[in-house]
Structure 1
């Protein structure tokens, strides 16, 4: 008789290191991804598993230079930092937790990190140059890549 003990599977929170997304989180994530996808120079990836400086991360969105997809060979955990990492606040997520991720992303080679707060309808863009800017209306503009997002569309 096999006496092996099966471990319970990891929860979403354990696997990704962040809370389960809410409905508003999902809406904003899709809308922002569509805004980014208008720029054909970049590829927008959702919930990509990253390993940066030996630590696992799963940004809500990652932006990379566009290159042909290789559907025969997949990457389970990507070690190349994205140009842009996006974190969208969930209702149960704390500010310090998100800001710690921003610091980790920027120190790993990410050019900019977008922090989106659906409840306040704001987007704050942090850059590797040490600047940050919060948008409450109009177009959010990435200082490194020139990517834009219309807040009216993102929060609709």
Structure 2
């Protein structure tokens, strides 16, 4: 007798990892040195069913929190969104997310792949890959060589 498991597949859940958290923290440290921007983590954008980049970068006075009344989906789009791939994520899925963010109006998305120390830069002109080097957008530069050094 053939024993088949006909139960529905378990959905894949993206689980942030130590490397993911560590790299986000190091990127944020560099972003915080630019006084004219606000770098926010895990902010859900009002796109599709809600897209949540790891880091969103806005001009400093774009968003003003109200600690008495929170907002679960933000309408203004960031200038720059950053995704850091964790072990449970698929790079293809994140690159498609980057394309969707750019189509919606985000100027640039950086998708950081730690294993190969690659940064996929997606914008209206397409996609380029930078390896273990500084990456710039407008007057913001993040030194990924420093980010990846342990």
Is TM > 0.5 for Structure 1 vs Structure 2? yes
1:150 partnered with 2:143: yes
The alignment of Structure 1 onto Structure 2 pairs a total of residues equal to: 137
Give the TM-score of the pair, scaled to structure 1. Answer: 0.79
Residues 103-143 of structure 1, C-alpha deviation per residue, up to 9 Å, x if partnerless? 11001110000010111112121122x1433222332112x
1:104 partnered with 2:97: no
Stretches of structure 2 that go unaligned for 5 or more consecutive residues are: 1-10
Give the TM-score of the pair, scaled to structure 2. Answer: 0.82
Quote the Cα distance in structure 2 between the aligned partners of 1:75 and 1:36: 23
1:121 partnered with 2:114: no
Quote the Cα distance in structure 1 between the aligned partners of 2:133 and 2:77: 28
Per the TM alignment, residue 59 of structure 1 is displaced from its structure 2 partner at its CA by 0.4
- Please list, as runs of the form range in 1=range in 2, the aligned pairs for 1:14-25 lying within 5 A after superposition: 19-25=14-20
Quote the Cα distance in structure 2 between the aligned partners of 1:48 and 1:119: 25
Quote the Cα distance in structure 2 between the aligned partners of 1:138 and 1:106: 23
Q: Which runs of structure 1 show a deviation greater than 3 angstroms over 4 or more consecutive aligned residues?
A: 68-73
- Please list, as runs of the form range in 1=range in 2, the aligned pairs for 1:1-156 lying within 5 A after superposition: 13=13, 19-52=14-47, 54-67=48-61, 69-128=65-124, 130-142=125-137, 145-155=138-148, 156=150
Per the TM alignment, residue 95 of structure 1 is displaced from its structure 2 partner at its CA by 2.1
Per the TM alignment, residue 37 of structure 1 is displaced from its structure 2 partner at its CA by 1.5
Quote the Cα distance in structure 2 between the aligned partners of 1:58 and 1:139: 24
* RMSD across aligned positions (CA): 2.0
Secondary structure of the 1:25 match is: helix
